[in-house]
């Protein structure tokens, strides 16, 4: 039996997972636990940071128990996490002063408008690569400081700490000794200068956030601290935001390589190489990772609601009992679907960036049934990816020959075929769709000398290639209907 393993902690928006990966990059075991989503008001989304921590520790413990691996066989831990979700805690007590404000949360939209009116849009784009939007962490920190009694005073005294979920986990895994993050997560904060690789003093001043709150930033391939398990100290040897981890896990290591992850949200990233490339089409510029003394950048299009739309079918509409049933329903409808679902439940991300859009269903008739709505919901994922890919190709000047895919919904054959059809490109699904967790593991392996980038390229194997199979006329007709539907959802909350 191989005696060297890496544990990947994959802390996502709806669940915490732990995976055990061997020297060949094979997943030996996996444990997962969902946790509560908290909706205090319309448009607000929160998590309990203590619940996240405990769920992550529990799946780690179950993984060790069920795989019968010993702590001394674990050479490193890699962490990948939901990005932008914001935790502020008291460094003296170690306790959060408020729930984690999740990346989907829209409460800071009015403050974002104020920042735009101050003329900060161009400065933010040029220095952080981002747009001013409630999606990112900075305005969430500001909300907590402004709305939680005594928070600003504690922050000014240097007592409070801010972190995305990676920082919160490491603070606790290292027994409150280390306050750190990596380039990829820092670049999602609206506060980090991706050109100088430092926290941006002007933006900290504009948002009245003391620098003492912020974690120290390291390359993604670093030893961030040590986790002690039964007397054995294991290095935390990588940290990557989930989408950057998936880009790395899909071996998109060269300029122009791209992947799309179908998770709670949907995220299309393209490796743009050594220099940041700024978008003219509503995409954001982000740091992909830092490894071996080099920083790599990416263009990204963010779709807020993807797999979450399938959960909506299951949990709120009761159209399906399980996610896999959506594929069966979609395939049962063998005629052209006149129904469009625009799942703008948390506004629209790239390339629209409309915080005030809301979800809608169009094209309903008396004979509309569950199959129509299920199929239209899956189709909405494919349409949104097409929106982003068109913008990405325009910005980069690179026409993709194919799209690599991963994430839970990539297992849906109907969706993958529709994606190929609407893009008119081959869609390549790997044998393991756990690219996010594998990306964190690969990065940790590089840190401790287990793997090289060449090893990662060799390890990727293809499960299936989906080839486009519809006419240009039908493709254009379907997409025109989608664009019409999107237009009618925009600025809903403003009118």
Other Cβ atoms closer than 10 A to 367: 7
Asked whether the beta carbons of 466 and 426 are under 8 A apart, the reply is yes
What confidence score (pLDDT) does residue 1 get? 47
135 is in an annotated binding site: yes
412 is in an annotated binding site: yes
Asked whether the beta carbons of 449 and 76 are under 8 A apart, the reply is no
Distance CA 469, CA 231 (A): 57
Asked whether the beta carbons of 87 and 160 are under 8 A apart, the reply is no
Residues 154 and 271 in one domain: no
- Which of 202-206, 451-455, 474-478 is predicted with the least confidence, judged by mean pLDDT? 451-455
Q: Which residue has the tokens 């490491």?
A: 170
Res. 78: pLDDT tops 90:
yes
Res. 355: pLDDT tops 90:
no
Average pLDDT of the chain is: 92
Res. 16: pLDDT tops 90:
yes
Residues 315 and 205 in one domain: no
Residues 198 and 321 in one domain: no
Distance CA 449, CA 396 (A): 33
Mean pLDDT along residues 273-283: 87
Query: Which residues face 235 on adjacent strands?
Result: 226
Of the candidates 251, 240, 242, 269, the one whose C-alpha atom is nearest the C-alpha of residue 459 is 251
What confidence score (pLDDT) does residue 334 get? 83
Residues 194 and 267 in one domain: no
**78 domain residue, yes or no:** yes
**231 domain residue, yes or no:** no
Query: Of 218, 239, 268, which residue constitutes the final position of a domain?
Result: 218
Mean pLDDT along residues 448-466: 85
Residues 301 and 411 in one domain: yes
Residues 152 and 28 in one domain: yes
What confidence score (pLDDT) does residue 91 get? 94
Task: Name the residue with higher pLDDT: 277 or 86.
Answer: 86
Residues 206 and 285 in one domain: no
Mean pLDDT along residues 177-206: 95
Residues 185 and 281 in one domain: no
Res. 423: pLDDT tops 70:
yes
Mean pLDDT along residues 346-366: 89
250 is in an annotated binding site: no
pLDDT in tens, 150-175: 999 999 999 999 999 999 999 999 98
17 is in an annotated binding site: yes
**181 domain residue, yes or no:** yes
Residues 184 and 100 in one domain: yes
* Domain around 374: 252-494
Mean pLDDT along residues 163-192: 95
Res. 368: pLDDT tops 60:
yes
What confidence score (pLDDT) does residue 304 get? 80
Res. 495: pLDDT tops 70:
no
48 confidence band (pLDDT: 50, 70, 90): very high
33 is in an annotated binding site: no
Long-range contacts of 466-473 (CB under 8 A, 24+ apart): 466/413, 466/416, 466/417, 466/419, 466/420, 466/426, 466/427, 466/428, 466/429, 467/420, 467/426, 468/420, 468/421, 468/423, 468/424, 468/425, 468/426, 469/417, 469/420, 469/421, 470/421, 472/424
Q: What percent of the chain has pLDDT over 90?
A: 71
212 is in an annotated binding site: no
Query: Which residues face 262 on adjacent strands?
Result: 266
**43 domain residue, yes or no:** yes
Mean pLDDT along residues 183-196: 96
Which three-class secondary structure state does DSSP give residue 93?
coil
13 is in an annotated binding site: yes
DSSP letters of 314-345?
HHTS-S-SSTTHHHHHHHH--S----EEE--B
What confidence score (pLDDT) does residue 188 get? 96
Residues 155 and 299 in one domain: no
Mean pLDDT along residues 240-256: 90
Residues 283 and 431 in one domain: yes
> What one-character DSSP code corresponds to residue 65?
H
83 is in an annotated binding site: yes
Res. 460: pLDDT tops 80:
no
493 is in an annotated binding site: no
- What CATH number has the domain bearing residue 149? 3.30.420.40
393 is in an annotated binding site: no
pLDDT in tens, 89-103: 999 999 999 999 999
Asked whether the beta carbons of 436 and 248 are under 8 A apart, the reply is no
Nearest 5°: the CA angle 359, 378, 259 is 105
Pull the structure tokens for residue 135: 């999606």
Res. 267: pLDDT tops 90:
no
**384 domain residue, yes or no:** yes
**358 domain residue, yes or no:** yes
Mean pLDDT along residues 305-334: 89
What confidence score (pLDDT) does residue 3 get? 80
**240 domain residue, yes or no:** no
Residues 207 and 262 in one domain: no
**How many domains does the chain divide into?**
2
307 is in an annotated binding site: yes
**246 domain residue, yes or no:** no
Judged on CB neighbours under 10 Å (0-12, 13-18, 19+), 282 is: middle
Pairing mode of beta strands 284-291, 266-273: unpaired
Q: How far is CA 150 from the centre of its chain?
A: 32
Biggest CA-to-CA distance, the chain: 66
384 is in an annotated binding site: no
Handedness of CA 75, 80, 81, 84 (dihedral sign): positive
Q: Which residue has the tokens 């539907």?
A: 485
2 confidence band (pLDDT: 50, 70, 90): low
């Amino acid at each position: 039996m191989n005696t060297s393993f890496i544990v990947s902690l994959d802390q996502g928006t709806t669940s915490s997972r732990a995976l055990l990966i061997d020297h060949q990059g094979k997943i030996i075991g996996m444990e997962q636990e969902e946790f509560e989503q908290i909706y205090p008001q319309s448009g607000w989304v929160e998590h309990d940071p203590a619940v996240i921590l405990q769920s992550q520790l529990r799946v780690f413990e179950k993984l060790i128990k069920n795989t019968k691996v010993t702590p001394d066989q674990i050479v490193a831990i890699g962490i990948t996490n939901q990005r932008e979700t914001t935790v502020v805690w008291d460094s003296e007590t170690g306790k959060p002063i408020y729930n984690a404000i999740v990346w989907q949360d829209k409460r800071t939209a009015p403050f974002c408008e104020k920042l735009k009116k101050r003329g900060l849009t161009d400065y933010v784009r040029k220095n952080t690569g981002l747009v001013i939007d409630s999606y990112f962490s900075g305005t969430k920190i500001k909300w907590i400081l402004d709305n939680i009694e005594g928070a600003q005073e504690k922050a000014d005294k240097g007592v409070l700490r801010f972190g995305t979920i990676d920082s919160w986990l490491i603070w606790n895994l290292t027994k409150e000794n280390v306050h750190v993050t990596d380039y990829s997560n820092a670049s999602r904060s609206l506060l980090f200068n991706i050109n100088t690789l430092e926290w941006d003093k002007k933006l900290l001043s504009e948002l009245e956030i003391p620098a003492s709150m912020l974690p120290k930033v390291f390359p993604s391939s670093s030893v961030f601290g040590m986790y002690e398990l039964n007397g054995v100290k294991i290095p935390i040897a990588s940290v990557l935001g989930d989408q950057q981890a998936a880009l790395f896990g899909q071996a998109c290591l060269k300029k122009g390589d791209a992947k799309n992850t179908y998770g709670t949200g949907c995220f299309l990233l393209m490796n743009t190489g050594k220099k940041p490339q700024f978008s003219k089409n509503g995409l954001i510029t982000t740091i992909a990772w830092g490894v071996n003394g080099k920083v790599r950048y990416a263009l990204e299009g963010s779709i807020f609601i993807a797999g979450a739309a399938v959960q909506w079918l299951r949990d709120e509409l009761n159209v399906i009992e399980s996610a896999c049933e959506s594929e069966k329903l979609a395939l049962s409808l063998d005629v052209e679907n006149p129904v469009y679902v625009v799942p703008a439940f948390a506004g629209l991300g790239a390339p629209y960036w409309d915080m005030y859009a809301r979800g809608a269903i169009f094209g309903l008739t008396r004979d509309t049934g569950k199959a129509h709505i299920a199929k239209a919901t899956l189709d909405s994922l494919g349409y949104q990816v097409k929106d982003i890919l068109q913008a990405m190709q325009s910005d980069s000047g690179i026409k993709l020959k194919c799209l690599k895919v991963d994430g839970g919904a990539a297992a849906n054959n109907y969706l993958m075929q529709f994606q190929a059809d609407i893009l008119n490109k081959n869609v390549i699904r790997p044998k393991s769709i756990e690219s996010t967790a594998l990306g964190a593991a690969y990065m940790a392996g590089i840190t401790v000398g287990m793997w090289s980038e060449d090893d990662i390229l060799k390890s990727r194997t293809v499960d299936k290639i989906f080839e486009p199979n519809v006419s240009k006329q039908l493709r254009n007709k379907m997409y025109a209907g989608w664009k019409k539907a999107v237009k009618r959802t925009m600025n809903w909350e403003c009118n």
